[in-house]
């Protein structure tokens, strides 16, 4: 605690203090105490405003690299589903990015999340009643629906989707959705059976042709124990990115800004002689798509690619290599990194001796034999590297026992996730445009629906973003 001794003050200060004390009707001691208190408050204020200044500089910097939703007005319709709790996070993230959020809750939504928490996080009143004495005289639902730049429905239940598709308007949420002249984005969330039900699928088609935008649902485990499939609501970051794509096209979010990623892609070619080599059918399409999606999400991406016939991604620095050993060296040189995604179909073996001249058939001696030796395992090297990427992802291309082999790889290579795909020739994955994968983590496994390789890449990037968001968020 601060203190001063009056008799130690110099003559001029003492005189000034005496005058001030007399003017304020205080004793000199009292006046000194008040002055000290004020000084302390001023110092505290200065410290706080310094901290705020620093924080707002940091925020401005991060807004520059992240998406900016400044002044955008979102009307968020919260439906009654277990995923409603994710809306609190969504609202917080929207507001952090400068958007204002006006919440509308259905009656059922009240069962899953309290209006008090929604209202506190949104810093606005929660609207629920169609006939609200305060709002309806001012045609509340029309004002609500028109006063927004975008209406987001999350979670969109099967019931809400059905109402929207049929044009019902019997509560505030459905009326607002009927009365709006603004774009609408919906994030469905429901049990997989309900999602795949023909009625829901019919409603989906109707809503899509009505121009409604969709995000999700994702595949994964459900809140109901033992249930899994397509029906999970998209994660808040995915919804955010969809919102930004609608409201600020050309200003995509950069949630991985500041992160460095190394991706390997394509096959490797292991020379036998100057004209022959060992290789495989990998096209590099999946690895390149992942590098591009990471780059578009703002990461600094080093793509180490084997020989492929596709273009280098726009948003990555591409290093071209031929062999596994070159690939390993390029990857290690690119360390450290936050993210490592090893997609390359690295040749497991190489010829022990690489002939300097083209090997010739020797008449009557039958085929020559090749002596092979094992190539270094790049993923495993990274898994145990002193500069191991924070998030290390491997791929497992198998033609049988997919899950068993993928699980074993997760462990033996010390990876965080394995993206497992069935590369049996009937699936046409190797060299094709589509992929059906499973994501194995240390805690579980999820099956993703069949998608094109760009969508697999985007979904993987969304998962990576979520991983880092969850890791760094302080609640």
Q: Which residues bind ligand C5P (CB under 6 A)?
A: 264, 324, 342-344, 346, 375, 377-379, 394-396, 409
Question: What six digits make up the tokens of 76?
Answer: 């968020």
| Residue closer to ligand C5P, measured from CB, 190 or 378 | 378
**Please, which residues bridge with residue 397 across strands?**
421
Answer for the pair 282, 324: CB distance below 8 angstroms, yes or no. Answer: no
Question: What six digits make up the tokens of 133?
Answer: 């004495």
Q: Which residues fall within 8 angstroms of residue 139, CB to CB, at 6 or more apart?
A: none
d(CA 288, CA 304): 10
| Residue closer to ligand C5P, measured from CB, 100 or 265 | 265
Q: Minimal distance in Å, beta carbon 214 to ligand C5P?
A: 32
Q: Could you tell me the sign of the dihedral formed by the alpha carbons of 73, 77, 81, 84, in that order? A: positive
| CA 88 remoteness from chain centre | 17
Q: Minimal distance in Å, beta carbon 423 to ligand C5P?
A: 10
| Residue closer to ligand C5P, measured from CB, 152 or 346 | 346
* Active-site entry in 68, 280, 414, 466: 280
Q: Minimal distance in Å, beta carbon 312 to ligand C5P?
A: 19
| Residue closer to ligand C5P, measured from CB, 233 or 420 | 420
Q: Which residues fall within 8 angstroms of residue 2, CB to CB, at 6 or more apart?
A: 36, 39, 40
d(CA 148, CA 131): 20
| Residue closer to ligand C5P, measured from CB, 172 or 291 | 291
Q: Minimal distance in Å, beta carbon 469 to ligand C5P?
A: 24
> Quick one: CA torsion of 376, 380, 384, 386, rounded to 10 degrees?
60
| Residue closer to ligand C5P, measured from CB, 83 or 262 | 262
Of 338, 251, 344, 255, give the one whose Cα is nearest residue 306.
344
Continuous segment of H or E residues that includes residue 103: strand 100-105
Q: Which residues fall within 8 angstroms of residue 218, CB to CB, at 6 or more apart?
A: 230, 232, 233, 234, 235, 238, 459
Q: Minimal distance in Å, beta carbon 354 to ligand C5P?
A: 18
d(CA 264, CA 339): 12
Tell me the backbone φ, ψ of residue 131, rounded to 5 degrees. -110, 75
Answer for the pair 269, 307: CB distance below 8 angstroms, yes or no. Answer: yes
| Residue closer to ligand C5P, measured from CB, 54 or 401 | 401
- In 345-415 the beta strands, taken as DSSP E runs, fall at 349-351, 372-374, 391-398
| Residue closer to ligand C5P, measured from CB, 233 or 324 | 324
Q: Minimal distance in Å, beta carbon 283 to ligand C5P?
A: 14
Q: Minimal distance in Å, beta carbon 412 to ligand C5P?
A: 8
d(CA 234, CA 18): 69
Q: Minimal distance in Å, beta carbon 381 to ligand C5P?
A: 8
* Catalytic residue list contains 280: yes
d(CA 76, CA 74): 6
Of 309, 311, 285, give the one whose Cα is nearest residue 429.
285
Q: How many CB atoms lie within 10 A of CB 136?
A: 15
| Residue closer to ligand C5P, measured from CB, 254 or 409 | 409
d(CA 188, CA 465): 20
d(CA 383, CA 472): 22
Continuous segment of H or E residues that includes residue 75: strand 73-78
Question: What six digits make up the tokens of 217?
Answer: 């649902």
Give catalytic residue positions.
280
């Amino acid at each position: 605690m601060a203190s001063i001794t009056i008799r130690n003050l110099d003559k001029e200060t003492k005189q000034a203090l005496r005058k001030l004390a007399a003017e304020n009707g205080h004793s000199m001691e009292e006046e000194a105490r008040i002055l000290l208190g004020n000084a302390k408050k001023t110092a505290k204020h200065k410290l706080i405003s310094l901290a705020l200044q620093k924080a707002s500089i940091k925020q401005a910097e991060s807004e520059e690299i992240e998406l900016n939703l400044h002044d955008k007005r979102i009307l968020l319709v919260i439906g009654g589903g277990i995923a409603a709790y994710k809306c609190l996070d969504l609202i917080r993230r929207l507001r952090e990015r400068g958007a204002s959020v006006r919440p509308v809750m259905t009656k059922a939504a009240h069962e899953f999340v309290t209006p008090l928490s929604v209202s506190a996080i949104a810093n606005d009143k929660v609207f629920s009643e169609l006939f609200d004495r305060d709002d309806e005289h001012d045609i509340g639902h029309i004002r609500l629906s028109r006063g927004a730049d975008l209406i987001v429905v999350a979670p969109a239940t099967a019931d809400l989707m059905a109402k929207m598709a049929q044009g019902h308007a019997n509560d505030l949420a459905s009326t607002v959705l009927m009365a709006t002249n603004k774009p609408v984005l919906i994030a469905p969330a429901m049990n997989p059976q309900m999602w795949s039900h023909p009625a829901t699928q019919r409603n989906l088609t109707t809503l899509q042709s009505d121009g409604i935008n969709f995000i999700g649902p994702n595949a994964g485990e459900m809140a109901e124990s033992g249930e899994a499939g397509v029906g999970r609501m998209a994660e808040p970051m995915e919804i955010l990115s969809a919102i930004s794509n609608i409201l600020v096209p050309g200003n995509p979010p950069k949630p991985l800004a500041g992160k460095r990623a190394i991706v390997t892609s394509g096959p490797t070619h292991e020379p036998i002689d100057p004209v022959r080599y060992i290789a495989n059918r990998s096209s590099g399409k999946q690895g390149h798509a992942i590098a591009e999606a990471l780059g578009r999400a703002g990461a600094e991406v080093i793509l180490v690619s084997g020989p492929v016939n596709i273009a280098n991604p726009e948003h990555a620095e591409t290093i071209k290599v031929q062999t596994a050993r070159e690939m390993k060296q390029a990857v290690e040189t690119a360390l450290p990194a936050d993210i490592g995604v090893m997609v390359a179909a690295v040749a497991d073996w190489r010829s022990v001796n690489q002939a300097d001249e083209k090997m010739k058939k020797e008449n009557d001696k039958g085929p020559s034999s090749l002596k092979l030796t094992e190539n270094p395992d790049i993923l495993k090297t990274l898994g145990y590297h002193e500069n191991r990427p924070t998030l290390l992802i491997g791929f497992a291309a198998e033609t049988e026992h997919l899950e068993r082999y993928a699980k074993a790889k997760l462990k033996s290579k010390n990876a965080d996730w394995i993206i497992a795909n069935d590369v049996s020739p009937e699936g046409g994955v190797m060299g094709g445009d589509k992929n059906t994968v499973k994501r194995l983590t240390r805690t579980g496994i999820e099956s993703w629906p069949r998608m094109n390789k760009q969508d697999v890449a985007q979904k993987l990037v969304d998962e990576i973003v979520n991983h880092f968001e969850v890791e760094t968020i302080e609640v």
